[in-house]
A and B are shown apart, each in its own frame.
Chain A
């Protein structure tokens, strides 16, 4: 019997500081046992438990795409005990990865248009999704791709080089925004995500799905905008966050009603959430 709590050992290969406040770092991890990489077969939208021996585990969305081979990436915000320790680590250090965990939306999204709406540091799994869809082998499986991504300021945007590269492509429509900036070089949008969504997002139809990941306040104000644009509630997919431990629906803490966010989620359609207690 395989022990679902046993992390795969990985080596930190590279650490990239993403934001000007230095609170977000991307960890590029390489499996110590090559066969573990095969076992860790994931899809965008899923997460994993990062395990730091002596500190504990923390659930983090996978920022790399399965189309990127030889490593996995996680962008980690410094908040608590484990993440603070992670931020103090250096390349070569050994940690653990357990997963992949949670569901993914790709059976539903195949052949559809996708509107990605992200805010703050929740953009990580959305980055994974974009890289995955833009892969030459996958792009034909999707119609239009829109991305609305906002951060407080230009320096708080994640993956800035990639954002710039995506901006120049014609097979993805990027709408990058910041809450505000005094940077004269800033050439993209200024405004909150809900506002930019209202201005730039396509209207809803049966072939379009919205994928939303962001802080609760952003989700709260984006939802009416999507209603206005005619996106049906079963075509709006949201990613939820909860305190988690086991990540596999057993330890009991991350439930909303009978659903465990770690195992039955973290993605739920708005239609599903409408029938669940508002306890998230």
Chain B
């Protein structure tokens, strides 16, 4: 990964020196294992802060919303798809952006790795294929592919779909079955589904980390915050919690890139992607749509086509 980092630094330094951009949005090294912090860099001297490794799971497109200056942003496959979505939805202009694309080999799943060890993890390092985890009285090397975030394991757009510079050579895309987990839930009876989702959401503390980590959630006032009318209660009543998660997922239908930022952000380890993923699957099956692949096509839920499978509109 160090070659990625040095290439990113090299590009960033050049862009700042040549005054092509005013700001670089990227990651700096985190203060705890398996975490990096989104950051900005404005001078060539500060470029040394930037890093790239398997802990850059936060979707940086989230940091573009409404910015006015000329920006270089580091974008893995999913970030780039959300940048496309942002451009389509007028949250940022293409001309403002210099996209430093990163062909992505996947981000590691912090929760998963943590749960594999009794003792606390003190240090995590990585090379091309392996992750080495150290803690008090143990050291273990794991195959990176075994501990990737769920969404990265099944990612079919690891290369950026839009970029101006590249931090590494493009890589082969994976051929995977993306929807095994969704089909399992689809096969459940309504009662089973109900209790499955109830269990899934029972730890939720309504902190809104899932919503706020999501580049799609930029509404000036989220429906949960409206008071006139108040659509949803603000307590941790399971009905209100469920309403929040279901409506949020629907709001992302046809826009979600399955970047996994929501699930990664959840402090309670809730697999919130299971909501958005079903809708993502439906969009693919009903409309042949994958979000954020092209600047020239509107998302299916804000367009009409004569061959729409629903007949209510005809």
Contacts and interface: CB of A to CB of B under 8 A. Distances in A.
- The reply, when asked whether chain A contacts chain B directly with Cβ atoms under 8 A, is yes
Contacts, number: 6
Nearest to A84: B228
Interface string B195-231: 0000000000000000000000000000000011010
Contacts of B228: 80-81, 84
A117 B230 CA distance: 38
Contacts of B230: 81
A84 B227 CA distance: 12
Interface in A57-109: 80-81, 84
B9 to A, nearest CB: 37
A80 B230 CA distance: 12
Nearest to B227: A81
Contacts of A84: 228
A248 B213 CA distance: 34
B232 to A, nearest CB: 15
Interface string B222-260: 000001101000000000000000000000000000000
A10 to B, nearest CB: 24
Interface in B39-66: none
A52 to B, nearest CB: 13
Nearest to B228: A81
A83 to B, nearest CB: 11
A81 B225 CA distance: 13
Nearest to A56: B227
Contacts of A80: 227-228
A57 to B, nearest CB: 13
A9 B163 CA distance: 65
Contacts of A81: 227-228, 230
6 contacts: A80-B227, A80-B228, A81-B227, A81-B228, A81-B230, A84-B228
Interface of A: 80-81, 84
Interface of B: 227-228, 230
